[in-house]
Amino acid sequence: MRSSTLFRRINRHPVQPHTARQLTSPVREVCVPPVDSVVEYGAYIEGQKVYAPGIVDALDLVRAHNAVSDGTPAFVWVGLHEPAAPEVEWLAEVFGLHPLSVEDAVKAHQRPKVERYGDSLFMVLKTVAFLDHDELTATSEIIATGEIMVFLGVDFVVTVRHGEHCPLTEVRERLEDRLELMNRGPTGVLHAIADHVVDQYLQVADLMQLELEEVEATVFADVSSRDINRIYQLKREMLDMKRAVTPLQAPLSALPQRRVIPSEMREYFRDVGDHLSRVCEQVESSNELCSSILQAALARSNALANEDMRKISSWVAILAVPTMIAGIYGMNFDFMPELHSIWGYPAVIGVMVTACLLLHRGFRRNGWL
């Protein structure tokens, strides 16, 4: 076991971070046990959660049980939410986590991936959530993204979550209520987390599909304006979701071939991979539909603009005739047709009205008015 006596003492007698900083060793000043970031932890022996006063104590119980038991392996599950770097470094000392994976867990904003470090796995899952708004603005986010990092070992699971959505409390409670699921060990927990995240993908993809159908209906509605900003916003959110979902397909498909995954669990991971493939296809089709809707909206707006320009041009042409005639008679020449005739004024007015009516009729027949 890699944890030192100091780590055991700190864990069994919880202290605040400012107390830990009073230690004299510079390394031990940095590595402090997680306090505020721990959502929950527990030792699971033969499918049952066993009380332990601290994380190191839980690991001691598990390894002591595994040393004398030939049955279902026991394991420790620690859940963290947005931990600080010293906290993750402390867990790295306790569980023997690889430094590269620890660095990724602290920095976050990682690409979905699965990496193997010896007998352990490090998996990054992007999480998505649909945000419902009463009124959308130009800066409103429709899809929120986060991350779940999973450290998987022979006798431990450490989950690091970034973001406010997609908590794992529901997953933990479901596993604890079913003994056969918890008896699958750490890989069973990894499968439950991956399945939960992919199910969230499906829900968000369905809600985005409904949003696109609603926007599509407004694009072809018989109105004079189109909300191009909303369509572009949906397009941007669909690209964010595509970046979260698509990169996970390759590593998740290769996960059943990993030697650290027991043979009895490989079918379950293949099932999650099939669900993810369905999500990727739906996201891709929705993204293409959003692009088509955006192009249709732009074409529709251009067509409406052309119709308005034709109407304006038609009325300008109609009004140009009386303007021209009135302009000619306003030049005050002595010798003008019908200038001194009693019927001159009505005749000129009649010519104006007749010309305007003929032009209006012609434009109506051509569809300009």
Q: Is residue 280 part of a domain?
A: no
Higher pLDDT, 11 or 52: 52
CATH code, domain with 110 = 3.30.460.20
Of 164, 180, 196, the last residue of a domain is 180
Q: What letter would DSSP give residue 119?
A: T
d(CA 217, CA 215): 5
Nearest to 88 by CA among 100, 105, 75: 105
The residue range of the domain holding 127 is: 1-180
Q: Is residue 267 part of a domain?
A: no
Structure confidence at residue 134 (pLDDT): 61
Of 154, 180, 206, the last residue of a domain is 180
Structure confidence at residue 236 (pLDDT): 84
pLDDT tens, position by position, 228-275 = 777 888 888 888 888 888 888 888 888 877 777 888 888 888 999 899
The b/e string for 86-96 (b: 16+ C-beta within 10 A; e otherwise) is: bbbbbbbbbbb
Of 152, 180, 208, the last residue of a domain is 180
Same domain, 176 and 318: no
d(CA 323, CA 262): 90
CATH code, domain with 329 = 1.20.58
pLDDT tens, position by position, 306-345 = 777 878 888 888 788 788 778 777 777 666 776 677 777 7
Q: What single string gives the DSSP state of each residue in 15-68?
A: --HHHHTT-S-HHHHH----SSSEEEEEEEETTEEE--SSHHHHHHHHHHHHHH
Average pLDDT, stretch 5-32? 38
